[in-house]
């Protein structure tokens, strides 16, 4: 059973902010929200993660709603190189690792 729901595809104009939504209405208290992306023909790449507070790093920002049932990944100034499939994953620590279940993700196309 999928723990997250994402739109299958989105477009974004180059230079604009890309806002990728994710619903995770059944998230448990100890589950983190992780975002990865996969550029064509490459392995997935970690972007960011959070528990309940908003997070920002050099790649993106993660906004998690107060009830933690949804989140948004923000790429502040999308470039053509950001065209990829973006995966939203919820996971808790189990046996020393976070097992990541990748769904179908959102295919983001950045348009020139």
Partner 1 sequence: DVKVTQSSRYLVKRTGEKVFLECVQDMDHENMFWYRQDPGLGLRLIYFSYDVKMKEKGDIPEGYSVSREKKERFSLILESASTNQTSMYLCASSLIGNGEQFFGPGTRLTVL
Of the pair 16, 104, the CB lying nearest partner 1 is at: 104
Report whether 71 contacts 89 (CB < 8 A).
no
- The answer to the question of residue 50 lying near partner 1 (CB under 8 A) is no
Contact with partner 1 (CB under 8 A) among 26, 45, 56, 57:
45
44 belongs to the binding site for partner 1 (CB under 8 A): yes
Cα–chain center distance at 62: 8
Task: Name, in order, each residue with C-beta under 8 angstroms of 37's C-beta and a sequence gap of 6 or more.
Answer: 44, 45, 47, 82, 84, 85, 86, 87
Q: What is the rounded distance in angstroms from the CA atom of residue 102 to the CA atom of residue 78?
A: 23
Number of residues forming the site for partner 1 (CB under 8 A): 23
Residue 59 lies near partner 1 (rule: CB under 8 A)? no
Pick out residues in 92-111 that bind partner 1 (CB under 8 A).
93, 95-105
Question: Measured between alpha carbons, how far is 67 from 65 in angstroms, rounded to an integer?
Answer: 5
Nearest residue (CB) to partner 1, 17 versus 100: 100
Report the interface residues with partner 1, using CB under 8 A: 32, 34, 41-46, 49, 87, 91, 93, 95-105
């Amino acid at each position: 059973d999928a723990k997250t729901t994402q739109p299958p595809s989105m477009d974004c104009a180059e230079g604009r902010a890309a806002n990728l939504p994710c619903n995770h209405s059944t998230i448990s208290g100890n589950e983190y929200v992780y975002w990865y992306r996969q550029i064509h023909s490459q392995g997935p790449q970690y972007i960011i993660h959070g528990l309940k507070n908003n997070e920002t790093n050099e790649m993106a920002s993660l906004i998690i709603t107060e009830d933690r049932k949804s989140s948004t990944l923000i790429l502040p100034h999308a470039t053509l190189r950001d065209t990829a499939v973006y995966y939203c994953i919820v996971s808790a620590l189990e046996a020393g690792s976070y097992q990541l279940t990748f769904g179908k993700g959102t295919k983001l196309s950045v348009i020139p």
